[in-house]
């Protein structure tokens, strides 16, 4: 007994949390929690009026706090090494917050979201709720939780925080996918598919994390990197763990061969949610990919690079070729998103010395901003072209849109050209920055594949443009709904961003350079 | 000693992964995913013992909570689609395709 | 050995209390007969016939079960804190209160939205 009592109790130093450095994230999560309280206590007719300003103000506030942090110049790891506050993470946070803000402007619970998620489609219960004018305003807090998860996912400095961020981001998105007002069966099906495949992939991520922990004895990214150097005789754990971790992450960015969920989910989900996923989730997932492969597995690049080459080539080719066969506008944009993930992966592969890494990182950051704005704009246009039964998804319905509504069709054509990477659009400089980094990083064959698949994709974009401007509109064609100020504003902002980044990219390029300058903190 | 736990964990993970791929009922598929998560938990705890630090055990706690949240979200989604279609077979989920 | 004495005493106390309660009940409690008391025990509710092929349960069970799981599992974080709460001091306490408040927000949502009502 005496020996037991005499043993010194293990002292645990109290951890510290740098609240100011985590302020953007905490503001978003705090607003989400307040949103849940609003759902609980506010009367039904007031909820929407509280949610919209609350959501938008918290995102704007978080963006302002991110700017303050960036200006302040602190670069370290906060919350006992769980969250990195460095140039790339601040840049990515700013990007996510702006893209989330414009995506939330697209939210319109009376037009796009289900009146009562629990009612069976086609039932009298559903009719009652529609007549009653019920709305499912939970979409706002759910979106805020997802956005907070994106912030954590992209800035996590250890694998546990990254896993938690991944799940906090994904779980609300699974639900949001199933909440479309029209074509509810399609929407629910998208939710089931996204959920089952997403849970499957996060199980891979988790097992990879467990094996890496077994190898390194820690899940801290920097400590994993340190452990790479020491020959511990547990290399099998490392290689299998890295591969499983990669599967989980590549699933989230929608890289081939893990791209199958993307078209289904993008098509079935309510379009504002698709916009949020196509922009915010992609940016966040690339933040995480960079952190895992550059910070944790940076010294292992000779081993993962050949695999990444294959994945990048497959992703670009699959995305570009399958886009051609699509007849639904949202599916087509989904395949385009897959191809863009492939282009971005060429940047991830282009590692080398510090200067090379900076160039590649800066290119990726700029690409993410450029692509994010264009894709939100494109999905915003999709929400405006409506049939009696909701959005006109089928491409044949878009025929002659240029004659019916030249301005909107022109803007959409411009977005498509930006996806293709035509000069004077933001897409051109994005591709240029990433491909230039890839060439100087010795990945010229990849760039050739990238340029060829860009050309294949451009063929399809041009086909849509021809369809819109040079064929006759159907007599019962879709109408263009310009009633929503928010949506119109999003299209305008996205178009402006696409032009400005295409004509005067230098300020944002400089910003990306500055963010990439110090690389990742360790 | 750790090896035994790891072999068991890898077996559980494989059973789960194969189950996800071959089973047709969404609930069973989902249970297989949970099996994979638990396999990871076993590995984490075994490694925590091997390394003599507590990180792995704490991570296992987080995984349990995340798994519970996933159960709630997943069952909600599966029940919704079941009520719509009177079927939880993943083969019937076929409206979205090329 | 003496280290286990408190456990032994606790066990004896618990057993004694159980035996005392069960033993005294026939003498002190009221005796009202009803048919349910003679049925097989099924979680305190009246047993229902097993439907053919396993049958389906009403969704009410599922919602209650899900809510139970989600609130139950949150408690897992209280255990590590409870083991070391004296060393973590005020910081640990504040963080735990914040955590429980967050869970409470979810609870109020469930409560206000009638998630706890059985019918």
Structural domains of chain C sorted by starting position, each given as residue range(s) with its CATH number in brackets: 55-119 (1.20.58.1610)
Q: Report, as an integer, the average pLDDT of C100-104.
A: 93
Model pLDDT for residues A344-370, shown as the tens digit of each residue: 999 999 887 888 888 999 999 999 999
Model pLDDT for residues C38-66, shown as the tens digit of each residue: 777 666 666 666 666 566 666 677 788 88
Which of B37, B53, B77 comes nearest A206 by C-beta? B37
- Answer whether A207's CB lies under 8 Å from B39's CB: yes
In a domain, A355, yes or no: yes
Query: What is the SS3 string spanning A86-108?
Result: CHHHHHHHHHHHHHHHHHHHCCC
Distances from the Cα of B69 to the Cαs of A189, A199, A414, in angstroms?
20, 11, 42
Structural domains of chain B sorted by starting position, each given as residue range(s) with its CATH number in brackets: 2-90 (1.10.287.3510)
In chain A, residues 39-68 whose CB comes closer than 8 Å to chain C: 39-41
Which of A186, A191, A218 comes nearest B77 by C-beta? A191
* C85 CA: distance to closest CA in chain A (Å): 10
Q: Report, as an integer, the average pLDDT of A83-106.
A: 94
In a domain, A64, yes or no: yes
- Does the CB of C77 have a partner CB in chain B at under 8 Å? yes
Model pLDDT for residues A197-213, shown as the tens digit of each residue: 999 999 999 999 999 99
Residue C108 burial (CB < 10 Å; 0-12/13-18/19+)?
Answer: middle
* C100 CA: distance to closest CA in chain A (Å): 13
In a domain, A140, yes or no: yes
Task: Name the pLDDT band for B66 (thresholds 50, 70, 90).
Answer: very high
Residue with tokens 């933040």: A287
- Does the CB of C74 have a partner CB in chain B at under 8 Å? yes
In a domain, A5, yes or no: no
In percent, how much of chain A has pLDDT > 70?
97
C-chain residues within 8 Å CB-CB of A4? 3
**The overall pTM is greater than 0.80:** yes
Contact A1 C91 (CB under 8 A): no
In a domain, A3, yes or no: no
Residue A467 burial (CB < 10 Å; 0-12/13-18/19+)?
Answer: middle
- Answer whether A120's CB lies under 8 Å from B82's CB: no
The 10 Å Cβ neighbour count of residue B45 is 17
Q: Residue A230: pLDDT above 50?
A: yes
Cβ-based contacts under 8 A for chains A and B:
128
B-chain residues within 8 Å CB-CB of C80? 58, 61
- Answer whether A179's CB lies under 8 Å from A118's CB: no
Q: Residue A219's pLDDT is what?
A: 92
Q: Report, as an integer, the average pLDDT of A326-341.
A: 92
Q: Residue A1's pLDDT is what?
A: 34
Which one, of A401, A372, A406, A408, lies nearest residue A387 by Cα?
A401
Residue A522 burial (CB < 10 Å; 0-12/13-18/19+)?
Answer: middle
Domain limits for position A170: 18-517
- Does the CB of C111 have a partner CB in chain A at under 8 Å? yes
A-chain residues within 8 Å CB-CB of C88? 12, 14
Give bridge partners of residue A387 from the DSSP assignment.
A390
- Answer whether A202's CB lies under 8 Å from A170's CB: yes
Report how many domains make up chain A. 1
- Answer whether B65's CB lies under 8 Å from C77's CB: yes
- Does the CB of C112 have a partner CB in chain A at under 8 Å? yes
Residue in A closest to B42 by C-alpha = A210
Contact B72 C70 (CB under 8 A): yes
Q: Residue A413: pLDDT above 80?
A: yes
A-chain residues within 8 Å CB-CB of B78? 192, 195
| Residues sharing a CB contact under 8 Å with residue A133, sequence separation 6 or more, in sequence order | A110, A115
Query: Does ipTM exceed 0.85?
Result: yes
- Answer whether C84's CB lies under 8 Å from A12's CB: yes
In a domain, A455, yes or no: yes
Residue in A closest to B65 by C-alpha = A164
Q: Residue A194's pLDDT is what?
A: 95
* A455 CA: distance to closest CA in chain C (Å): 50
Helix A329-349 to helix A426-440 angle (10° resolution) is 30
CB-based burial, A237-246: b 16+ in 10 Å, e otherwise: bbebbbebbb
Which three-class secondary structure state does DSSP give residue A81? Answer: coil
Average pLDDT taken over every residue of chain A: 89
Q: Which of A109-113, A255-259, A464-468, B92-96 has the lowest mean pLDDT?
A: B92-96
- Does the CB of A6 have a partner CB in chain C at under 8 Å? no
In a domain, A6, yes or no: no
Q: Residue A5: pLDDT above 60?
A: no
The 10 Å Cβ neighbour count of residue C105 is 17
Which of B17, B29, B98 comes nearest A196 by C-beta? B29
Q: Residue A79's pLDDT is what?
A: 83
- Does the CB of C119 have a partner CB in chain A at under 8 Å? no
**Contacting subunits of B (3+ beta carbon pairs below 8 A):** A, C
How far apart CA A297 and CA A224 sit, in angstroms, is 7
Which of A174, A200, A214 comes nearest B73 by C-beta? A174
Q: Residue A402's pLDDT is what?
A: 86
- Does the CB of C87 have a partner CB in chain A at under 8 Å? yes
- Answer whether A305's CB lies under 8 Å from A346's CB: no
- Answer whether A170's CB lies under 8 Å from A288's CB: no
- Answer whether A202's CB lies under 8 Å from A284's CB: no
Q: Residue A2's pLDDT is what?
A: 37
In a domain, A2, yes or no: no
- Answer whether A494's CB lies under 8 Å from A373's CB: yes
């Amino acid at each position: 007994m005496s020996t037991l009592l005499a043993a010194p109790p293990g002292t645990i130093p109290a951890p510290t949390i740098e609240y100011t450095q985590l302020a953007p994230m905490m503001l978003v999560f705090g607003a989400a929690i307040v949103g849940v309280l609003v759902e609980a206590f506010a009367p039904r007719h007031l909820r929407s009026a509280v949610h919209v300003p609350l959501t938008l103000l918290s995102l704007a506030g978080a963006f302002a706090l991110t700017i303050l942090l960036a200006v302040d110049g602190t670069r370290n790891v906060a919350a006992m090494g769980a969250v990195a506050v460095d140039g790339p993470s601040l840049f990515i946070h700013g990007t996510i917050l702006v893209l989330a803000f414009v995506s939330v402007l697209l939210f319109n619970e009376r037009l796009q979201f289900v009146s009562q998620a629990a009612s069976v489609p086609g039932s009298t219960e559903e009719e009652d709720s529609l007549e009653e004018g019920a709305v499912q305003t939970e979409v706002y807090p759910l979106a805020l939780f997802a956005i907070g998860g994106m912030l954590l996912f992209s800035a996590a400095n250890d694998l546990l925080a990254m896993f938690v961020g991944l799940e906090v981001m994904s779980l609300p998105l699974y639900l949001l996918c199933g909440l479309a007002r029209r074509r509810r069966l399609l929407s629910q099906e998208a939710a089931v598919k996204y959920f089952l495949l997403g849970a499957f992939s996060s199980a891979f991520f988790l097992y990879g994390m467990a094996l890496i922990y077994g190898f390194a004895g820690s899940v801290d990214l920097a400590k994993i990197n340190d452990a790479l150097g020491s020959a511990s005789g547990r290399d099998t754990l490392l290689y299998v763990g890295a591969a499983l971790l990669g599967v989980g992450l590549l699933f989230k960015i929608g890289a081939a061969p893990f791209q199958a969920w993307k078209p289904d989910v993008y098509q079935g989900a309510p379009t504002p949610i698709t916009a949020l996923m196509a922009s915010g989730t992609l940016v966040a997932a690339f933040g995480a990919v960079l952190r895992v492969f550059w910070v944790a597995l940076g010294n292992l690049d000779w081993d993962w690079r050949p695999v990444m080459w294959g994945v990048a080539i497959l992703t670009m080719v699959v995305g570009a070729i399958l886009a051609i066969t699509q007849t639904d506008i949202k599916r087509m944009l989904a395949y385009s998103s897959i191809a863009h993930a492939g282009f971005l992966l060429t940047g991830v592969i282009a590692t080398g010395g510090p200067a090379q890494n900076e160039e590649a990182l800066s290119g990726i950051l700029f690409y993410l901003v450029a692509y994010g704005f264009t894709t939100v704009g494109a999905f915003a246009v999709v929400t405006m072209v409506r049939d009696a039964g909701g959005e006109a998804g089928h491409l044949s319905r878009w025929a002659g849109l240029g004659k019916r509504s030249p301005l909107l069709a022109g803007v959409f054509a411009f977005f498509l050209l930006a996806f293709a990477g035509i000069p004077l659009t933001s897409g051109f400089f994005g591709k240029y920055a990433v491909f230039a980094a890839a060439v100087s990083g010795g990945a010229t064959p990849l760039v050739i594949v990238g340029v060829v698949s860009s050309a294949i994709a451009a063929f399809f974009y041009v086909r849509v443009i021809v369809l819109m401007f040079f064929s006759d509109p159907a007599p019962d064609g879709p109408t263009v709904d310009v009633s929503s100020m928010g949506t119109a504003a999003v299209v305008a902002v996205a178009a402006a961003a696409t032009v400005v980044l295409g004509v005067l990219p230098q300020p944002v390029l400089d910003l990306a350079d500055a963010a990439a300058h110090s690389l990742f903190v360790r | 000693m750790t090896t035994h736990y790891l072999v068991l964990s890898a077996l559980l993970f494989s059973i789960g992964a194969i189950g996800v791929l071959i089973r047709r009922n969404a609930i069973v598929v989902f249970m297989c995913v949970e099996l994979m998560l638990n396999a990871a938990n076993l590995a984490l705890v075994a490694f925590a013992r091997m390394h003599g630090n507590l990180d792995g055990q704490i991570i296992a706690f987080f995984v349990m909570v995340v798994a519970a949240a996933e159960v709630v979200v997943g069952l909600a989604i599966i029940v919704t689609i079941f009520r719509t279609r009177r079927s939880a077979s993943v083969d019937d989920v076929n409206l979205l395709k090329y | 050995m003496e280290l286990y004495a408190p456990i032994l005493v606790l066990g004896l106390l618990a057993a004694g209390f159980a035996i005392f309660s069960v033993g005294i009940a026939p003498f002190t409690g009221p005796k009202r007969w009803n048919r349910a008391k003679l049925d097989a025990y099924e979680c305190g509710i009246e047993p229902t016939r097993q439907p053919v092929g396993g049958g389906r349960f009403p969704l009410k069970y599922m919602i209650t079960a899900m809510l139970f799981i989600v609130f139950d599992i949150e408690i897992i974080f209280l255990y590590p804190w409870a083991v070391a709460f004296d060393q973590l001091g005020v910081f640990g306490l504040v963080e735990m209160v914040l955590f429980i408040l967050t869970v409470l927000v979810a609870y109020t949502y469930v409560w206000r939205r009638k998630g706890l009502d059985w019918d």
